[in-house]
Homo-oligomer: A and B are copies of this chain.
């Protein structure tokens, strides 16, 4: 029986995509081989990566190939934390970081290792319960870029829209909410995302780079850490994580079949509304994030009586609702409602919340 998977990432994938993987993994596309055995320089793999890139560009609304370059890299957001300041920041002109959670803190720390990072605003004192309001921070003109984390997986907060940074380039870590709904990506100069939440399996990182931003990149870097090297190699400087790219392509095709990012947003908003309504219904539960900053992707909550939480989580596991434990640094509960999570999973969770409240309320 298929479980209701609320994992924060790697996370639930569309069942249709898993079934496709099962059909294709021993012999892919009638090639007499598995995708796992294809050369990354073969015409078969070229078709896979070009289709994935085209679908990703279409879904992101970034089709202009001159203005935007797309890379499929490795190392997750964690390597991007280092690679971005290496390529774009200096001590004289640091990257500015808006600190809305543990991941943006880590991003800043990697810039600081290079003596090229500056904190612009932090929600740490509040326990990261919200993102900044307009006017609480600004993009000083001496910055190389402003870095934000659009969705904060651990704390369950999300930027409802991208900030305006004037002439300063905006760099956005969208690992945990990419393609969850429409967004004006043209405001950004660099967008990156580990695939393992909304795009596919772990092992591939998507990077969108504006060409005019790349023109100002630092020189003299090691090849694998130099975005220009990857761009000059047509996005395939070294061996791709070919299967991860293939599977991401299947997820992107699935998103398109569902109706694209608008359909994702509608479904995600319905799932989140159902769960937040239950959290707010009686006061038995309490949402962890401030209302205006609530994430549609990762919903964090506590029981009013925190001593009940272990029993709630244990009962959830018995009902095949898994991955609901809050991050070890935050405690409580966290339900990750990524694109691929079926509505029925949230209904099952809400039913268990009601049953639990009826017993303990």
Contacts and interface: CB of A to CB of B under 8 A. Distances in A.
A222 interface: yes
Contacts of A212: none
30 contacts: A2-B33, A5-B37, A7-B38, A9-B39, A10-B36, A10-B242, A13-B37, A18-B25, A21-B25, A21-B36, A22-B25, A33-B322, A40-B202, A74-B74, A74-B75, A74-B241, A75-B75, A75-B238, A76-B239, A78-B237, A78-B239, A82-B222, A113-B220, A194-B239, A201-B243, A202-B242, A202-B243, A203-B243, A241-B244, A244-B244
**Best-buried of A11, A26, A81 by chain B (most CB within 10 Å):** A26
Nearest to A237: B78
Contact of A10 (B11, B39, B196): B39
A10 B243 CA distance: 10
* Interface range for A: 35 or more
Contact of A18 (B34, B247, B322): B34
Nearest 10 interchain pairs by C-beta: A203-B241, A3-B32, A82-B222, A74-B74, A78-B238, A22-B26, A18-B26, A36-B201, A79-B224, A203-B203
Instruction: Provide the main secondary structure of the chain A interface.
Output: loop
Interface in A204-256: 204, 220-225, 237-244, 247
A284 to B, nearest CB: 28
Contact of A242 (B201, B220, B225): B201
A19 B27 CA distance: 10
Contact of A39 (B8, B79, B114, B237): B8
Contact of A78 (B10, B25, B224, B244): B224
